[in-house]
Structure 1
Amino acid sequence: MGIQSEVNTGGGAAPPVRLPFDQPDPLHSPPVQRELLARGPVHWVRTAVGDAAWLVTDHALVRDLLDDARLGRSHPAPDGAARVGESVLFGGPVGDYGTEHSDHARMRALLQPHFSPKRMRALRPRVEALTAELIDDLARQAPPADLHRAVALPLPIAVICELLGVPYADRERFRAWTQAAADATDRARSEQGMAELFGYGKDLVARKRRDPGDDVVSRLCATEGVGDDEAAMLSMALLFAGHETTVVAIGRGALLLLAEPGRWRRLRDDPDLVGTAVEEILRAPGKNTGGIPRYARADFDLAGAPVRAGDLVLLDTGAANHDPAVFPDPERFDPGRRAAAHLAFGHGARHCIGAPLARIELHAVFTRLPARFPDMRLAAEVGELDWNRRTVTGGLTELPVAW
């Protein structure tokens, strides 16, 4: 019996929980998520739009399934597939069911060279310089100031713009489109944002073909066999992924470090701790993603759950990163924790190719901020902070700080 049958008939099980889970404390994972972790590795749930899905919370199982060819992002009948939300990017199936694996391998082969260790090492000084400039600008402000707008938001945008060859002056426009495309609540807004972003990408590709530069978009345009539409699609995917999640990570990381003054002072007094602190920020308590959507390409048993072809399987990396079997006392944020086993960047064939860049940016921020502002503190209560709850990535809308 597959999940649809079990959900429709009850299957002798308790009614499914509904995503997203209620989260009273934004710095700690939802209580329901903790209960599910304690109960077992796989659970049937209802998504935010009411569709049935299997939610996987166990670290080892999530890690294996992230690299399991029995799961994919496409669906043979996408119009009738279960959905996580309304975003055209992340809400439901994407890609061609018949060619998904080869298409994904081609995409990685085209993009991986632009994120090679050599290129990332060459980019590091520029990231550090941009970080220093933004922190200098922040220091010239009179506190309180918004750390989100001063550092967390502009740094990843500036870095990805320079890497791709996207004009930084266009940031307000493409930021609005990426936010719209990621809207999990409004399908029409998401579709419009995606269309605007792709149209911008096609215009950018046309400009790069006429006047190439030393940047990723120009190099994609010069790659044999890459047409305008493919170059635009890949470029805009990088533009979105290359800044959105890092913006969220910088803001949440700063909040976690400032929520208890001892954490900030610890990092200030021991800069060698930044590397482990960055990994703990990526593992970070408080994430409530609801899981990475995948669709079963075959029938199989999943830790006792009867998965059927076409079923929606949600790989909850947020829950996996709080698995007490891997991370003792997982709700405690510890900048000194060795958290390298976290799954924030995925695993295997779909491991995020931009992970090294994100780490460089996070390392630059959390090396320089505590050194420049040793007494930085929150200028608002945690419960007063506003979070973006419409988009898939979420994150703070502002982070008031003083010094």
Structure 2
Amino acid sequence: MTTPVQLTLDQSYPFRLDDAVRRLQREACIHRVRTAPGDEAWLVTGHRQVRRLLDDPRLGRSHPAPDEAEQLGEPPVLASLLGGGESEQADSIRFRKLLQPLLSPRRVHEMRSRIEAITAETLDRIVAAGSRHVDLQRELAAPLPATVLADLLGVPENDRAQLLEWNDDLACWQNRAQSEQGLGNLIVYGRQLAAEKRRCPTDDVISQLVSAEGVDDDEASRLALALLVAGAATTMALGLGIVLLLENPEQLARLRHDPQLIPGAVEEILRALDKGGDGIVRYARTDLEVDGLTIRAGELLLLDAGSANHDPNVFREPQRFDVGRRENCHLTFGHGSYYCLGSALARVELQIAFEQLLARFPDLRLAVELEELRLNREVLAGGLMELPVTW
């Protein structure tokens, strides 16, 4: 067997794997690699293979012996939210059964006017600040998804600043003490809020969770917190999506000319995002074969949706960013039994954000060179460290 290739995740634009891994991706759909902590893993890059493995019951998010598991370097503090071990599949089924009705496309459609109002208020604050130079990562991409989720969960206005501060602490996964402190504060607060919603229910997710049969305050708190954590992915997509549009002015002009293209543009942004090829973590529950290679029970697989979304066997001219792309079966939200429950909400948030941003700032442009942009790999879900723009 060849020597594993070290995964090198770049923090600078264009946020891609190093050339050695890119060459491997052209040669095969599965590769032996070494992760940042020094452990070996299988990196799966082909669209067909990633799609199939995402819904393969022989794989799981958790390792039967966590202390022996090969690591990508993900925040271990989140394990208590995701569940694991023998109950993982049962926990996932219950998790989805409880949350799916609360995040359905119909429910999200009903929320659309509220999301539009929150987005408009966020942009109003940017304009009211009076400066034509702003960090859109800090002022839009980071707070908007968190505010929408806080609204959806039913967090009182007076508590939101503190909630977002604790959420930021949790996201600092490389500082384990800070991350665990943030998690602890959020869980305690969530229990208190769940108890309050049980006494005085309103029309929000936490109220509906505590009214479900068999859901206690602790479970409601953890489910709500899992949603809050998942919102970080929308932050990443919004910030990098703005960069993609500003990097491709001809595509941006198409959207300004025809805003009806925005829903399709959001799908293309989700497909085109290439934040580093780290992959969705799965562990083999049993021996299995992938394209002629034997994966042993307990081994780590990284299902690289970013590379799968650029598979030339599935996407025509995959490196080309095209807001009018018609066939777009991207895997950014996963597939099958682990398909992202918040996908409808994320799509609507992104559509509204781009609609309003392009309408309010017709001369929007980067205030720095592309090469100066950096990813923040010290926080959960990454995203840009900053996004300086002007208009």
Q: Give the shorter-chain TM-score range.
A: over 0.9
Q: Output the CA distance in 1 between the equivalents of 2:114 and 2:78.
A: 31
The answer (yes or no) to whether the contact 1:285–1:331 under 8 Å persists in 2 is no
Q: Output the CA distance in 2 between the equivalents of 1:192 and 1:305.
A: 42
SS at match of 2:57: coil
Shift of 1:166: 1.6
Q: Output the CA distance in 2 between the equivalents of 1:118 and 1:164.
A: 17
Q: What is the TM-score of this pair, normalised by structure 1?
A: 0.90
Q: How does 1:169-184 map to 2 (within 5 A)?
A: 169-184=158-173
Shift of 1:352: 0.4
SS at match of 2:76: coil
Specify the alignment match of 1:120 in structure 2.
108
The answer (yes or no) to whether the contact 1:144–1:401 under 8 Å persists in 2 is yes
The answer (yes or no) to whether the contact 2:122–2:140 under 8 Å persists in 1 is yes
The answer (yes or no) to whether the contact 2:9–2:15 under 8 Å persists in 1 is no
Shift of 1:91: 8.1
Q: What is the TM-score of this pair, normalised by structure 2?
A: 0.93
Which residue of 314, 324, 332 maps to 2:312? 324
The answer (yes or no) to whether the contact 2:283–2:300 under 8 Å persists in 1 is yes
**Residues paired across the two proteins, number:** 390
Q: Output the CA distance in 2 between the equivalents of 1:227 and 1:309.
A: 35
1:252 aligns with 2:225: no
Structure 1, 185-194 or 328-337: larger mean CA deviation:
185-194
Shift of 1:208: 1.8
Shift of 1:22: 3.8
RMSD (CA atoms): 2.2
Specify the alignment match of 2:149 in structure 1.
160
For structure 2, the residue ranges without an aligned partner over 5 or more in a row are none
1:375 aligns with 2:363: yes
Q: Output the CA distance in 2 between the equivalents of 1:313 and 1:232.
A: 30
Q: Which amino acid aligns with 2:207?
A: S
Shift of 1:113: 0.7
Specify the alignment match of 1:238 in structure 2.
227
- The sequence identity of aligned pairs, in percent, is 51
Q: Output the CA distance in 2 between the equivalents of 1:289 and 1:125.
A: 35
Which residue of 373, 387, 390 maps to 1:385? 373
For structure 1, the residue ranges without an aligned partner over 5 or more in a row are 1-11
CA deviation map 1:157-202 (0-9, x unaligned): 2211111112344444333433443445344443333223222222
Q: Output the CA distance in 2 between the equivalents of 1:226 and 1:197.
A: 18
Specify the alignment match of 1:201 in structure 2.
190
Shift of 1:94: 5.4
Shift of 1:337: 1.9
Q: Which amino acid aligns with 2:107?
A: R
Q: Output the CA distance in 2 between the equivalents of 1:65 and 1:165.
A: 36
The answer (yes or no) to whether the contact 1:250–1:362 under 8 Å persists in 2 is yes
Q: Return closer, same or farther for 1:310/1:296 CA change in 2, 3 Å cut-off.
A: same
CA deviation map 1:23-56 (0-9, x unaligned): 6532555434422220211111111111111111
Which residue of 135, 139, 143 maps to 1:150? 139
Which residue of 193, 200, 209 maps to 1:220? 209
Q: Return closer, same or farther for 1:238/1:149 CA change in 2, 3 Å cut-off.
A: same
Q: Which amino acid aligns with 1:134?
A: T
Q: Return closer, same or farther for 1:176/1:327 CA change in 2, 3 Å cut-off.
A: farther
Q: Output the CA distance in 2 between the equivalents of 1:65 and 1:306.
A: 14
1:60 aligns with 2:31: no
